[in-house]
Amino acid sequence: MRIFDCDAAFGRGTTPLPGELETADELVAELDHCGIEQALVWHRDARERSAGQGNARMAALKGHLRLHRSCTVMPYTSRETFTEAELFEYLQMEDIRAVRAFPLTHCYLLDTISCGDLLGLLSAYRVPLFVPLGEFHNQWQGVYNLMRDFPHLTLVLTETGCWGQDRYFRPLIRNFPRFFLSTNRFETAGQLKSFVNDLGYERLLFGSGLPFNNPGGYITLLARADISDEARQAIAYDNLVYLLGEVAL
């Protein structure tokens, strides 16, 4: 099973973790241990210090061909980061095909009023936006509002919680073809098989959650789930490749 991880981080954060991956080399060593071929990566500074500092840290990934950069975005309202035009020029120039947002930590609302231009452009260029569930104000209601207002946005929800949240996310899967889930914290017994049987496998992306989560659980689950090999490989690798290939910068 080839694995492309959509959600791995490195760097030293504010709070010491039981398992630290401070450098890109350490992250690669752990990916090797787990048999993960490639990863879409962010730096902990992007969430815990500032978006700009985190994005600057991504330079450390140059030379690591298996690690793909993602850029952390914020609205331009306070003039602290890229304008929308600058952002898309930067993404194109650096060949960055995914962005992340941490609105709760960075104190803004991921909505039409605060981020309308940004979200509109991400939708138009099909750039996937990765956001942890816990970073939405009002949690699931925030996700619902965002997808209602930007139905063409490619949203990948990460860290969706370990306690079978299907009643929340299945309506989003059914109503919004560009809504995706990371398997990071997809831990409920029988949940993966049930999801694939009912809704297909196209909207699930393997995510490790490193260095916060132990990837081994999600790998073992995927390897052992009672689903087709086609579904297994799509979730582990192909769906993310397809998503990144759709980006039209």
Partner 1 sequence: MNLRDAFLTGGGCPVIDAHAHMGPFRSIYLPEAGRDSMVAGMERAGVEAIIVSPHDALFGDTREGNAQMLEAVQACPGRIYGYCTIHPGYPRETAGQLDTYLHQAGVVGVKIHPASHEYPVDGPNYAPVMERLEAEGGLLLSHTWGSEGTCGARKMRAIAEKYPNIRLLLGHSCYGAWAEAIALAKDFPNVHLELTAAAHVYGLIEWMCREAGSRKVVFGTDYPWFDPAVYIGFVTFAHIDEEAMRNILYTNARGLLDEQLAKRK
15 binds partner 1 (CB under 8 A): no
Of the residues 218, 235, 237, 238, which one makes contact with partner 1 according to CB under 8 A: 218
Q: Tell me how far, at minimum, the Cβ of 162 lies from partner 1, in Å.
A: 7
Which stretch, 61-69, 136-144, 219-227, 238-246, contacts partner 1 (CB under 8 A)? Answer: 219-227
- Is 139 a binding residue for partner 1 by CB under 8 A? The answer is no
Backbone phi and psi for residue 86, each to the nearest 5 degrees, phi listed first: -65, -40
Going residue by residue from 20 to 39, which x/- string records binding to partner 1, judged by CB under 8 A?
Answer: x------------xx-----
Residues 99 and 129 sit within 8 Å (Cβ to Cβ): yes
Q: Of the two residues 172 and 192, which places its CB atom closer to partner 1 in the complex? A: 192
Region for 94 from its dihedrals, namely left if φ exceeds 0, alpha if ψ lies in -120 to 50, beta otherwise: alpha
Which of 81, 158, 160, 165 forms a contact with partner 1 (CB under 8 A)?
Answer: 165
Please identify, using beta-carbon distances, which residue of 192 and 234 lies nearer to partner 1. 192
Neighbours of 57 (CB within 10 A): 19
Closest CA to 191 of 179, 204, 210: 204
Burial class (CB in 10 A: 0-12, 13-18, 19+), 107: exposed
**Closest approach of Cβ 169 to partner 1, in Å?**
10
CA–CA distance, 101 with 93 (Å, rounded to integer): 20
Q: Which residues bind partner 1 (CB under 8 A)?
A: 17-20, 33-34, 162-167, 185, 187-194, 209-221, 223-226
